[in-house]
């Protein structure tokens, strides 16, 4: 059995999530033992219309560790035929002639779904505007599971720019697969989580609440998931950016107030949301989170190109 595409978090049920996590465990062993050649005949194209450090490089690292090859355009918005007016449809039809799988990041929500309809090879959504970032959510959930063994019963605070945060949207969809989970949305009132996510949580009977006080909630939850205020999504709302910037900062006092076994995550890049002196605290798992991205993406590449046992 193969994954046809990785487009949105909703496509993963609990059973499939366990498969992904088990595959990631195996990929971790492969990564630390010097790699593998199971994808030695495969070519991956990374096509990024928005900037990326972790997602693009971790996908490329994942492919190389499995013996595959990479072709890439780092800034497709300016340095591909998109700059000449080429449609995303024509771009996908062209690139699929050169590669066996496409990892696509785009600035418009819904572009990955559009590419999926066109492509005859697997598409992996590496972030589509303010829509979704499913591979980030998978590595986030994998990191949470490594810390707590089980996800049922956990409380998670999502903090920052929730209106534009594709990582929190995808993670909310995945958390809705579990039982007795509680989510707290912490944001300025003008950057709240969109209604479609709240309606999805209601449908799946996942309790959620909204507040704007991180210090009040920090001692109560198992996971704090910080995000930055996304300046690039607020270009036409500079006043909102200035009001939100610096509103939520995790410093030593906030971390000290957290439960002993709670964890602090961040999808990165960070700006000023987490003080660097927190980095050495055992609750701060965002660099482990980054490392886990390689294992999850190795697993997804293998599941798309070779297959898996369900």
The residues spanned by each domain of the chain are 9-132+293-305, 134-289
CATH architecture for residues 134-289: 3-Layer(aba) Sandwich (3.40)
Phi and psi dihedrals of 288, rounded to 5?
-65, -40
Note the CATH number of domain 9-132+293-305: 3.40.50.1370
Q: What is the pLDDT of residues 53-67, one digit of tens each?
A: 999 999 999 999 999
Cis peptide before 269 (omega within 30 of 0): yes
CA atoms within 13 A on the CB side of 39: 30
Active site residues: 54-55, 84, 105, 133
Count of Cβ atoms closer than 10 Å to residue 16 Cβ: 16
CA atoms within 13 A on the CB side of 110: 0
Contact 183, 210 (CB under 8 A): no
Q: Across residues 171-179, what is the average pLDDT?
A: 98
Q: What is the pLDDT of residues 1-36, one digit of tens each?
A: 999 999 999 999 999 999 999 999 999 999 999 999
Distances (CA, A) of 12 to 164, 269, 295: 22, 26, 17
What radius of gyration do the chain's Cα atoms show? 19
Domains 9-132+293-305 and 134-289 share a fold: yes
pLDDT at 77: 64
For the chain, percent of residues with pLDDT exceeding 70? 97
What's the residue count for the chain? 310
- Residue that has been written with the tokens 């090859």 in this structure: 69
Above 90 in pLDDT, residue 293? yes
């Amino acid at each position: 059995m193969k994954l046809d595409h990785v487009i949105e978090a909703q496509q993963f049920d609990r059973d499939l999530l366990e498969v992904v996590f088990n595959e990631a465990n195996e990929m971790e062993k492969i990564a630390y033992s010097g790699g593998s050649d199971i994808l030695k005949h495969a070519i991956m194209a990374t096509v990024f219309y928005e900037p990326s450090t972790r997602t693009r490089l971790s996908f490329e690292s994942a492919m190389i560790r499995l013996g595959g090859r990479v072709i890439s355009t780092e800034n497709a918005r300016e340095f591909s035929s998109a700059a000449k007016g080429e449609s995303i449809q024509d771009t996908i039809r062209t690139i699929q002639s050169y590669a066996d799988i496409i990892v696509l990041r785009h600035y418009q929500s819904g572009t990955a779904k559009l590419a999926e309809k066109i492509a005859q090879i697997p598409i992996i959504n590496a972030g589509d505007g303010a829509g979704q970032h499913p591979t980030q959510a998978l590595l986030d959930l994998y990191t949470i599971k490594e810390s707590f063994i089980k996800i049922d019963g956990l409380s998670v605070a999502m903090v920052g720019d929730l209106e534009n945060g594709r990582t929190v949207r995808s993670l909310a969809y995945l958390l809705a697969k579990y039982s007795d989970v509680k989510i707290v949305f912490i944001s300025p009132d003008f950057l709240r989580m969109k209604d479609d996510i709240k309606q999805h949580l209601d449908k799946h009977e996942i309790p959620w609440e909204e507040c704007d006080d991180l210090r009040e909630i920090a001692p109560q939850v198992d996971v704090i998931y910080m995000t930055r205020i996304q300046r690039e999504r607020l270009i036409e709302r500079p006043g909102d950016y200035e009001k939100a910037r610096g509103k939520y900062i995790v410093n030593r006092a906030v971390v000290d107030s957290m439960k002993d076994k709670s964890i602090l995550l961040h999808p990165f890049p960070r700006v000023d949301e987490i003080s660097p002196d927190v980095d050495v605290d055992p609750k701060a798992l965002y660099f482990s989170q980054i490392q886990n991205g390689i294992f999850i993406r190795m697993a997804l590449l293998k599941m798309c190109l070779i297959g898996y046992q369900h």
